[in-house]
Structure 1
Amino acid sequence: MSAPTKPYVSRYGGLWPDLHNADELLAERRKRGMVSDEDAEMLRQWREKGYVQISNAVPASVLDEILAEQDRAWQTADSSYRVQTGHSDFVRPRPDIRYQTGCRLLDVYAKFDAACAAIFSRKITHFLRLLFDRDVFKTQTAKTPSASRCTAGSSGCPGARRLRA
């Protein structure tokens, strides 16, 4: 069999698991003790299906807090929260529109500490480090002056710095 002309399986490039020799790279990482059997299985699932299921990735208490924060957001008329009501209509959250089809509270990961904790849970960041081969971080920038800030953190939100845009 001849060597592939492009290093990645996808024409768009990708991460190390997208390389044609990803199986060999994974075997080497397992041999060195860098990847456990469970990690290897998650990476295989991601490669085959394009996603991975991580059981109990987010503690139930964090999910409860996200729901509570959402409830608070919908009950306030705080202009720092935005709701998309259609393709381009943005309004403040109001209880009377909460369950309308197409309404959604935007950027909860940038507003809610619990949402950030969910995204950066230990199990999720572990998998993302395997996939990206480095620490993960989040950043948020906004186009509107009222929300023009950037939040950045290295592999989690505690201690994240808030920067003015």
Structure 2
Amino acid sequence: MANYLLEEKESFMVLGMGTELKSDYRDFEGIHKEKAEFWQAVNQDGRLDKLKNVAANDYLFVVNEAVNNKMMHYVGVITKESLPEASRLIQFPAGEYIVVKGEASTDEELANKLTGIAFGEVLMEVTEVSYVGAPNTAVVMGEQDGMVYGEMWIPVVRN
């Protein structure tokens, strides 16, 4: 089983800019391609830098959320400011979260790796808690020795 922790977290808000994922939720290749195109666009057009410039800390949030029956993918930060490019204020609930730690070469690679471990392994094996569909996020926390490190945070409820 993949290593994970259960941690209590306070409620928090993330200002995000995002894209609707139009692939079927079971089409992992299509979803991966759409996310890669989104990351390429926000890196090239400067939106990611603008978002990082208003951040209250060094954390970068890579959020997946269902909104109005649509699969949404966001990059966001915790901030008290607003940006015209940012399309959503994402509310994360207070409570218990599954936390999976990891590292990778890039922000995007880290988010994909942690999402895969959390949803493909941990949530398939845990029995004491369940994910009920609130927003989940890979949190890029920093860089060390040329690698990006962070955590996946998934809000859960006790069974």
Interval of TM-score (by shorter of Structure 1 and Structure 2): under 0.3
Higher strand share: 2
Structure with higher RCO (Cα < 8 A, 6+ apart): 2
Q: What TM-score does the superposition give when structure 2 sets the normalisation length?
A: 0.27
Question: If you compute each CA radius of gyration, which structure gives the higher value, 1 or 2?
Answer: 1
Q: What TM-score does the superposition give when structure 1 sets the normalisation length?
A: 0.27
